Amino acid sequence: MNPWIPYPAEVIEKRREALRVHTLRLRIRDEAIRRAYRFRPGQFNMIYVFGTGEVPISIVSDPDESGFLDHTIRVVGKMTAALVGLKEGDTVGLRGPYGSWWPLEEARGMDVVIVTGGLGCAPVVSVINYVAHRRDRYGRLKIFHGVKTPKDLLYRARFRAWQKHPDTEVYLTVDHPDREWKYKVGVVTNLFRQVRIDARKSAVMMCGPEGMMKSAVRDLRAQGVPADRIYLSLERNMKCAIGFCGHCQYGPRFICKDGPVLRFDQIQEWFGKDEL
């Protein structure tokens, strides 16, 4: 089995989420590969656009919804622009799934605390959906989400929908509000001073800018959340996703195969170091 070979997948649906953000629903063309494909929330695929390149994109759909894979993509450069420029019926190459996953088994019976900032939302959407569809397995679901401006709020409709879910709390905050903004103002970690988190029975899963995660970890640790119950999804440059290219090194870890989801106590001595 040649790990470099992508398999063709069809864009079966394209949905606009926000300014320059789209979700592509992909369907692997080969039936045998499609049936065999299994992933867990938090993992990612390498998606190839013919002649343009390949990028890692996290999977946001539910692992039990078979037959398709959703990827939410924000245009940040040439590759993501090419992906978002695709139409329904177009073909991409797909390799995956790669990497580690969110601790959804370990978190059974606990409160699930989601902390995301900026555009880090996409990798945790899979967790929120997963918990929402299996409500009896978990305690309360608390979602903390901070963005720069109201314009950057992805999934506005989904947040509203989540807010109505049983045992679910959604806290939104922006650094720079506009006149219509009716939620909180300030960085996401301010919210921890206003909302109680049960340190004894919470599993925290976070994704977003490293500066935000650093403050969030510090505040959560101060509230008594154990280091081994905080999980982070990290991002680094990635060319191969299979541990050969060396680009995604994070101290001794390779984000592609040891991550992207890492438990805080396992990266504690490296986390937050400048230019690591």
Q: Which stretch binds another protein (CB under 8 A): 124-132, 182-190, 200-208, 236-244?
A: 236-244
Q: Taking CB under 8 A as the rule, does residue 36 contact another protein?
A: no
CB of 202 to another protein, least distance (A): 29
Q: Taking CB under 8 A as the rule, does residue 268 contact another protein?
A: no
Q: Which of 175, 40, 37, 45 shows the shortest CA–CA distance to 117?
A: 175
**Computed over its alpha carbons, how large is the radius of gyration of the chain?**
18
Member of 236, 263, 266, 272 binding another protein (CB under 8 A): 236
Member of 67, 85, 109, 246 binding another protein (CB under 8 A): 246
CB of 58 to another protein, least distance (A): 14
CB closer to another protein, 67 vs 251: 251
Member of 77, 105, 164, 178 binding another protein (CB under 8 A): 77
Please give the backbone phi and psi of residue 133, each rounded to the nearest 5 degrees, phi first: -85, -10
Q: Which stretch binds another protein (CB under 8 A): 34-42, 47-55, 63-71, 126-134?
A: 47-55
Query: Which positions from 84 to 123 touch another protein by CB under 8 A, shown as an x/- string?
Result: -----xxx-x------------------------------
Q: Taking CB under 8 A as the rule, does residue 78 contact another protein?
A: no
Member of 245, 263, 266, 268 binding another protein (CB under 8 A): 245
Total interface residues for another protein by CB under 8 A: 44
Q: Which stretch binds another protein (CB under 8 A): 108-116, 152-160, 175-183, 233-241?
A: 233-241
Rule CB under 8 A: which residues touch another protein? 1-8, 10, 29, 48, 50-54, 76-77, 80, 89-91, 93, 235-237, 239-240, 242-247, 249, 251-252, 254, 257, 269, 273-276
